[in-house]
Amino acid sequence: MSSVNKQVKIFDTTLRDGEQALPASLNKRDKLQIALMLEKLGVDIIEAGFPVSSPGDFESVRMIAKEVKNATVCGLSRALEKDIDACGQALNIADQFRIHTFIATSDIHVDTKLRKSQDEVVEMAVKAIKHARSYTDDVEFSCEDAGRTHIDYLCRMVEAAIAAGATTVNIPDTVGYTTPSEFGGIIHNLFNRVPNIDKAIISVHCHNDLGLAVANSLAAVEQGARQVECTVNGIGERAGNCSLEEIAMILQTRYAMLGLETNIQSQEISKASKLVSNLCNMPVQSNKAIVGANAFSHSSGIHQDGVLKGQNTYEIMTPESVGINKNNLNLTSRSGRHVIKHRLGELGYQADEYDLDAIYDAFLRLADKKGQVFDYDLEALLFFDQQKHDH
C-alpha cells in the first residue's frame, strides 16, 4: 500500500448517482432525510445533487448545504461555467462545500460524445477547475470513463487537473468495465507517473456492470487511493455503484489491522440501508452482503449448532456491528436438535419440561411439510406433546 495516509474518505453519491438512476426522483424532504442519515453514518462528503439539472435539485442541494454540519456537502457540474456557477450558488450557504466538476477522457467519449480534440478537453478541464476554485478551495475533478482511457492521456489529464487546483482527482470506472488487477494497475501507474500526484487525494468511483465495483474500489485503495465514492445499498446508474456498506465493512473487518480507517459509524448501516430502500422504493435482495435479510441468518443444522457454540464460527462480523440486534436462526428441516432446544429456551421452556426427542421428531415432520417453522408452531408442538402425556 503506497500511501502513508491511512484515512480513507467515504464520498457518498446516493443522492446524485443513486438518485439519477431511480424511475422517479426523490422529493426535497426525502433527500434531506437521507442527507441527515448520511451525516449520522459518518460519511465525509455527501454529493447532494447536480444543481444545474433542475430548479428542484438546486433547491435540495441548497437545503442540504444549509442543514448538514458534520460533512462536506458537494454538488456535481460538467466542465461548464454555468454548471459551476449553479453549484457555487447552491452550496455557498454550507460550512464546508466542494464543487465536483468532470469531463470525459476516453477516446470513445472524447470522439463520439464530446467531438473534441484531446487538447481541447484538457483546456476545458483546466478552465473549469480554475473557475470552481474561485468559489472554494475544495475542488474535485473527475476523468469520466477513466477505466477505458489511454493511460498516457489519463496521466496528462491528472497532472493538468492538479496543477490547475483540483484537490481531489477522481478516477471513475464509469461503465464498470475493468477488472480489479487492471483498475489497481491504473492507480498504480498514476502514482508512479504523475509528478505532482501527492498534491491531491486520489479518489475512485466504480460502477457495477460486471459486479466488480467493490473489488475494483478495494484494489484502488490497495494502490493508494484514499477516497472511495459509493452509495447506500449500491444504488446507481444501471447495475449501480460501489456499495457503501460493503466497502466500509471490508475496510473495518479486513484492513483495520493494516492501519486503514474510515469515519463510518458502522452501527448506523442497517438504518441507513432501510431508509434508502424505503424512500427510493428499491428493495434490497435478501442475500445482499451486510444489509440483506439473510446476511446474518443461519439455516443449516451444522451452521446453527456452530454459531450457538461460538458466533464467529460462521459470522465474520457481528450483526450488532452493523446495527442489527441479533442473528436469525431459521427453523427448517435442515435445523438440528440443538437449535430447537435453544429456541425453546428463548421462549421460556426449560429442558426438563418437554421430551426433546419427541418434539424434534414432530418438528421435522412439520418442517418437511411447511418449509419454515415459526415460534408459534414450536409452541403448538409443545402443547400437543404435553397434552399427549396428560391423557
The CA distance from 48 to 274, in Å, is 19
Residue with cell 418449509: 371
Contact segment (CB under 5 A) with Zn ion among 11-19, 100-108, 251-259, 339-347 equals 11-19
CA distances from 82 to 50, 86, 114, 133 (A): 12, 6, 17, 14
Please indicate if the annotation marks 17 as binding a ligand. Answer: yes
Site for ligand KIV in 139-168 (CB under 6 A): 142, 144
Q: Is 12 in the site for Zn ion (CB under 5 A)?
A: no
One of 75, 88, 165, 172 touching ligand KIV (CB under 6 A): 172
Residue closer to ligand KIV, measured from CB, 17 or 83: 17
Contact segment (CB under 6 A) with ligand KIV among 157-165, 169-177, 218-226, 372-380 equals 169-177
CB of 172 to ligand KIV, least distance (A): 3
Residue closer to Zn ion, measured from CB, 17 or 85: 17
Number of residues that bind ligand KIV (CB under 6 A): 9
Contact segment (CB under 5 A) with Zn ion among 15-23, 105-113, 212-220, 328-336 equals 15-23
In contact, 145 and 175? CB cutoff 8 Å: yes
CB of 146 to ligand KIV, least distance (A): 8
The CA distance from 243 to 12, in Å, is 10
Helix (H) or strand (E) holding 128: helix 118-133
Helix %, strand %, coil % of the chain (to 5):
55, 15, 30
Partner touching 144 among ligand KIV, Zn ion, none, CB below 5 to 8 Å by kind: ligand KIV
Integer Rg of the chain from CA: 25
Per-residue contact string for residues 86-125; x = within reach of ligand KIV by CB under 6 A: ----------------x-----------------------
CB of 174 to ligand KIV, least distance (A): 4
Alpha-carbon torsion (69, 96, 323, 332), positive or negative: positive
Which residue(s) pair with 75 in the sheet? 49, 99
Query: CA 344, 349, 352 angle in degrees (round to 5)?
Result: 110
Which residue type occupies 202?
I
Please indicate if the annotation marks 150 as binding a ligand. Answer: no
Partner touching 102 among Zn ion, ligand KIV, none, CB below 5 to 8 Å by kind: ligand KIV
Torsion angles phi and psi, residue 175, rounded to 5: -110, 15
Please indicate if the annotation marks 241 as binding a ligand. Answer: yes
Partner touching 231 among ligand KIV, Zn ion, none, CB below 5 to 8 Å by kind: none
Q: Is 305 in the site for ligand KIV (CB under 6 A)?
A: no
The closest of 105, 3, 45, 96 to 229, measured between CA atoms, is 45
Per-residue contact string for residues 186-215; x = within reach of ligand KIV by CB under 6 A: -------------------x-x--------
Number of residues that bind Zn ion (CB under 5 A): 1
Site for ligand KIV in 6-35 (CB under 6 A): 17
Query: What does the CA dihedral 282, 288, 293, 295 come to, rounded to 10 degrees?
Result: -160
Please indicate if the annotation marks 205 as binding a ligand. Answer: yes
Per-residue contact string for residues 50-89; x = within reach of ligand KIV by CB under 6 A: ----------------------------------------
Residue closer to Zn ion, measured from CB, 237 or 379: 237
Total H helices, total E strands in the chain: 15, 10
The closest of 213, 230, 220, 172 to 41, measured between CA atoms, is 230
The CA distance from 124 to 16, in Å, is 23
Residue closer to ligand KIV, measured from CB, 68 or 169: 169
In contact, 144 and 102? CB cutoff 8 Å: yes
Q: Which long-range contacts (CB under 8 A, 24 or more apart) does 346-353 make?
A: 347/375, 347/378, 347/379, 349/382
Q: Is 17 in the site for Zn ion (CB under 5 A)?
A: yes
Please report, in range form, the residues annotated as the binding site. Answer: 17, 205, 207, 241
Q: Which residues are near ligand KIV by CB under 6 A?
A: 17, 102, 142, 144, 170, 172, 174, 205, 207
Q: Which residues are near Zn ion by CB under 5 A?
A: 17
Please report, in range form, the residues annotated as the binding site for Mn(2+). Answer: 17, 205, 207, 241
